[in-house]
């Protein structure tokens, strides 16, 4: 029998069982108890027959499970006339089978979104004549034309002077990347600039994008579906039940005792506990905006000990965001942004959209632009309110390489923040520079903290972005490891390495994450606005655009898994007592059935606790001595903050040599005192403090300040690394002064807030 036919049969059986249960309940309520019993029997018999066929097939294949006991108990209940018990067993058995089918289907999910994105036709330059040919027909060395907005069909090298490519599908990075003549171009990237020519260096099947599709498919089919929880106990339960029934028959000489033992041994706690708890857990997760694809996904998520995050669109918002505006003399930041947005609104470029969105968010009056001219991938120019406005790269705006001190300082600051720079000029004079970068999600620190609190021991980030950008995010979130400049194959390899150590959860959102999501022990996709291919490849889909739902999902899964095991253990313990009582003749078959039904009801009610959030922990007061000790630590830190304040003031008029030494000294203070203190607070103090607070969400906000301080410390370390007297011009000293002042100010405010919390915690 084919797998597809099996699934159709399983769906039909659950429909029959549910229909029989509902019909019998209605008839019973109307007083037609005889017909109700018939309806329940009619709903049970097809399930029993289907179960019999399944058992025979399993036995022929050399497998055996608790299904044998389920069949015997269902048949025994029907023979005893206890049809309600039979239909309940039938419904739960058929429901569990349907849930198992859903888990198995994960290896067959449709990769339509991934495959459909691949181009079917390429434009080949044949001695000056452009002809459309199937991508499969492209040979190495063919000269191809890629038009604006098209997907690069195969791997190759750029033949034209320059090109602008959106590689989000490959690296996950939303900001387009500029390419120069002779540089490699990967298939799957989108042409974000003008039409360009390239030379193919690989055929379709050997190119980057085709390998992504193959990896996603192979990783999915390589992972076997989770074995049903009940079958793990089959080797113990089946022989024990049959042996006890046989012994009771042999000793008493009464076959009714054997029947009573089998009825009491019905594996309903095994059949019911896990599916009911998992369905309840899945339902609770859905209320939180988390889609878990069946009980297998939930069970796998509960075992997670390592979490791997993609960066862009997962830990970050996934797009260019305004982070700073550098202004030239005579212009305000608002005016520079307003004029840039006025000309950029005529462009369809992703960077232009980010600038316009930033201006609208600040409610700036965007003017109408005329005579707009755009150089694809370089910038845009036009007339705004009678003035010539240009916005784009430095070369485009000023028609020269960066020579002025202001331009060099702006580019250095952009490099420090790993930001993209859009220069703005008005009537040929510099007006400002807009710095754009991918911003960290606001809830990311809280999500990381919650995962650690739930028992996750290792959190790492893997990204296709540059090392500088990735390390800044890693420092801000205090991750255990950062893997940068990784392509989809490298991500799969990273997942494989971590899975060799402990169960691993992969969290991502882009097409390039699909292979890693499918390869992981459990994959979670940010599906609110992520690629559909990643959602298809994942076991868990976050339906709302919030990263902290990942930690919520882990908490729900662990609680649900615990309830499932608890229900099974308690149910089987009670069933064991009932089996012994039946073997001793203390329970007749009917009484055994009634006892087992009571056990089943208890198991179901306990399993349904997974629908709730659990009891809120009681708050315990912090000892006054502990609170005072924490305040003493702050007083010691205050001395270092005073030194940082003095350093920032002294930098105002410091010479190059003195200033360089001051920045290096400040970096040592921050690294040796501030960073150490904040990390100790996060790992040692906050877990203890959380027990003294009614909710941990207040501390989540404080943890975010820790991340910001760590981020600033990372920036100061980068600035002072290798700093010499010759590098320390006045602008660099100003940058160092800003960072030091920020660290001092934030740390002082943060300490004051923490002391308020200590006081509240000690008050009980």
Whole-angstrom distance, CA of residue 206 vs CA of residue 124: 18
Nearest to 106 by CA among 270, 261, 219: 219
Confidence at 590, pLDDT banded by 50, 70, 90: low
Altogether, the residues listed in the chain come to a count of 764
- Pure H helices in 538-655: 548-583, 589-607, 624-650
The burial class, CB within 10 Å (0-12 / 13-18 / 19+), for 752 is: exposed
pLDDT at 258 over 80: no
Q: How many CB atoms lie within 10 A of CB 652?
A: 10
Whole-angstrom distance, CA of residue 211 vs CA of residue 201: 15
Edge-to-edge order in the sheet of strand 190-191: 177-180, 162-166, 190-191
431 vs 259 pLDDT, higher one: 431
Confidence at 654, pLDDT banded by 50, 70, 90: confident
CB 477 within 8 A of CB 707: yes
Out of 118-122, 230-234, 243-247, least confident range: 230-234
The predicted pLDDT at position 460 comes to 93
Count CA within 13 A, CB hemisphere, residue 748: 13
pLDDT at 592 over 70: no
Give the mean pLDDT of 276-282: 75
* Structural Rg of the chain based on CA atoms: 33
* HEC letters along 397-455: HHCCCCCCHHHHHHHHHHHHCCCEEEEEEECCEEEEEEEEEEEECCCHHHHHHHHHHCC
Whole-angstrom distance, CA of residue 306 vs CA of residue 522: 11
Would the pTM of this model clear 0.75, i.e. be above it?
A: no
CB 504 within 8 A of CB 460: no
Mean pLDDT of the chain, nearest integer: 79
Chain centroid, CA 543 distance in Å: 11
Whole-angstrom distance, CA of residue 183 vs CA of residue 514: 26
Confidence at 2, pLDDT banded by 50, 70, 90: low
pLDDT at 108 over 70: no
Nearest to 74 by CA among 99, 97, 47, 100: 47
- Pure H helices in 253-327: 255-264, 268-287, 295-302
The predicted pLDDT at position 15 comes to 87
Over residues 538-557, the pLDDT tens digits come to 778 787 778 888 988 999 98
Label the pairing between strands 129-134 and 184-185: unpaired
Over residues 152-210, the pLDDT tens digits come to 999 999 998 888 888 766 655 566 778 888 888 888 888 888 889 999 998 988 887 77
10 vs 35 pLDDT, higher one: 35
User: Which residues, including other chains, have CB under 8 Å from residue 560's CB and lie 6 or more apart?
Assistant: 277, 278, 280, 281, 284, 298, 302, 610
User: Which residues, including other chains, have CB under 8 Å from residue 658's CB and lie 6 or more apart?
Assistant: 650
Over residues 31-82, the pLDDT tens digits come to 888 888 899 889 889 988 888 887 787 777 666 555 676 677 678 767 767 6
The burial class, CB within 10 Å (0-12 / 13-18 / 19+), for 746 is: middle
Catalytic residue among 310, 465, 548, 552: 310
Over residues 613-629, the pLDDT tens digits come to 765 544 566 666 777 77
- Is residue 310 among the annotated active site residues? yes
Label the pairing between strands 458-462 and 481-483: parallel
User: To the nearest whole percent, how much of the chain has pLDDT over 70?
Assistant: 79
The predicted pLDDT at position 596 comes to 67
pLDDT at 300 over 50: yes
Confidence at 503, pLDDT banded by 50, 70, 90: very high
The predicted pLDDT at position 140 comes to 92
The predicted pLDDT at position 217 comes to 53
CB 271 within 8 A of CB 70: yes
pLDDT at 104 over 50: no
Confidence at 468, pLDDT banded by 50, 70, 90: confident
pLDDT at 224 over 50: no
Q: Is 309 strand, coil or helix?
A: strand
Element holding 60 (H helix, E strand): helix 33-60
């Amino acid at each position: 029998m084919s797998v597809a036919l099996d699934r159709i049969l399983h769906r039909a059986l659950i429909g029959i069982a549910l229909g029989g249960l509902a019909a019998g309940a209605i008839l019973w309520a109307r007083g037609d108890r005889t017909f109700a019993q018939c309806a329940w029997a009619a709903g049970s018999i097809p399930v029993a027959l289907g179960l019999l066929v399944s058992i025979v097939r399993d036995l022929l294949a050399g497998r055996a499970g608790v299904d044998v006991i389920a069949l015997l108990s269902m048949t025994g209940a029907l023979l005893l006339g206890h049809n309600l018990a039979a239909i309940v067993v039938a419904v739960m058995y058929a429901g569990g089978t349907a849930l198992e089918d859903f888990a198995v289907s994960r290896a067959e999910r449709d990769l339509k979104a991934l495959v459909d994105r691949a181009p079917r036709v390429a434009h080949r330059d044949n001695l000056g004549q452009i002809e459309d040919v199937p991508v499969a027909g492209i040979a190495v060395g063919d000269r191809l034309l890629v038009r604006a907005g098209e997907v690069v069909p195969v791997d190759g090298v750029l033949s034209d002077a320059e090109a602008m490519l959106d590689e989000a599908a490959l690296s996950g990075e939303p900001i387009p990347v500029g390419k120069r003549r002779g540089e490699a171009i990967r298939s799957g990237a989108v042409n974000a600039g003008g039409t360009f020519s390239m030379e193919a260096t690989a055929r379709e099947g050997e190119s980057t994008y085709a390998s992504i599709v193959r990896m996603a498919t192979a990783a999915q089919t390589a992972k076997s579906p989770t074995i049903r929880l009940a079958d793990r106990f089959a080797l113990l339960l089946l022989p024990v039940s049959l042996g006890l029934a046989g012994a009771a028959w042999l000793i008493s000489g009464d076959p009714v005792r054997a029947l009573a033992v089998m009825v009491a041994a019905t594996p309903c706690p095994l059949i019911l506990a896990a599916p009911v708890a998992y369905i309840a857990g899945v339902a609770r997760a859905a209320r939180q905006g988390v889609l878990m694809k069946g009980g297998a996904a939930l069970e796998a998520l509960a075992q997670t000990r390592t979490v791997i995050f993609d960066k862009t669109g997962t830990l970050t918002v996934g797009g260019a965001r305004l982070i700073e505006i550098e202004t030239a003399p005579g212009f305000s930041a608002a005016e520079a942004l307003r004029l840039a947005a006025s000309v950029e609104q005529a462009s369809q470029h992703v960077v232009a959209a980010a600038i316009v969105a930033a201006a609208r968010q600040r409610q700036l009056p965007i003017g109408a632009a005329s005579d707009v001219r755009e150089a694809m991938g370089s910038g845009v120019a036009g007339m705004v309110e009678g003035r010539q406005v240009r916005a784009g790269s430095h070369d485009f705006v000023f028609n020269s390489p960066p020579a002025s001190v202001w331009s060099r300082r702006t580019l250095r600051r952009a490099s420090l923040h790993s930001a993209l720079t859009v220069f703005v000029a008005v009537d040929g004079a510099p007006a400002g520079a807009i710095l754009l970068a991918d911003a960290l999600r606001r809830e990311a620190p809280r999500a990381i903290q919650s995962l650690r609190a739930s028992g996750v021991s290792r959190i790492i980030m893997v990204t296709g972005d540059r090392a500088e950008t990735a390390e800044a995010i890693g420092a801000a979130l205090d991750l255990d490891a950062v893997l940068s400049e990784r392509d989809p194959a490298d991500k799969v390899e990273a997942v494989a390495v971590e899975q060799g150590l402990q169960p691993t959860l992969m969290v991502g959102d882009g097409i390039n994450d699909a292979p890693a999501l499918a390869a992981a022990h459990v994959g979670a996709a940010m599906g609110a606005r992520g690629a559909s291919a990643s959602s298809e490849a994942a076991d868990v889909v976050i339906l709302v655009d919030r990263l902290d739902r990942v930690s919520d999902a882990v908490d729900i899964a662990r609680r649900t898994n615990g309830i499932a095991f608890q229900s099974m253990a308690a149910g089987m313990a009670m069933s064991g007592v009932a089996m012994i009582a039946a073997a001793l003749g203390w329970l007749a078959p009917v009484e055994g059935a009634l006892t087992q039904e009571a056990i089943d009801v208890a198991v179901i009610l306990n399993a349904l606790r997974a629908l709730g959030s659990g009891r809120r922990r009681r708050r315990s007061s912090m000892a006054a001595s502990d609170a005072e000790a924490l305040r003493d630590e702050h007083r010691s830190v205050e001395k270092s903050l005073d030194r940082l304040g003095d350093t920032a003031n002294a930098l105002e008029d410091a010479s190059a040599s003195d200033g360089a030494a001051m920045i290096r000294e400040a970096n040592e203070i921050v690294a040796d005192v501030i960073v150490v203190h904040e990390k100790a607070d996060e790992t040692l103090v906050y877990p203890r403090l959380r027990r003294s607070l009614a909710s941990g969400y207040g501390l989540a906000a404080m943890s975010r300040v820790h991340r910001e301080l760590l981020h600033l410390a990372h920036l100061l370390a980068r600035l002072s690394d290798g700093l010499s007297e010759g590098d320390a011009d006045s602008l660099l000293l100003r940058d160092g002064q800003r960072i030091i002042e920020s660290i001092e100010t934030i740390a002082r405010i943060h300490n004051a807030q923490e002391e308020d919390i200590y006081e509240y915690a000690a008050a009980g």
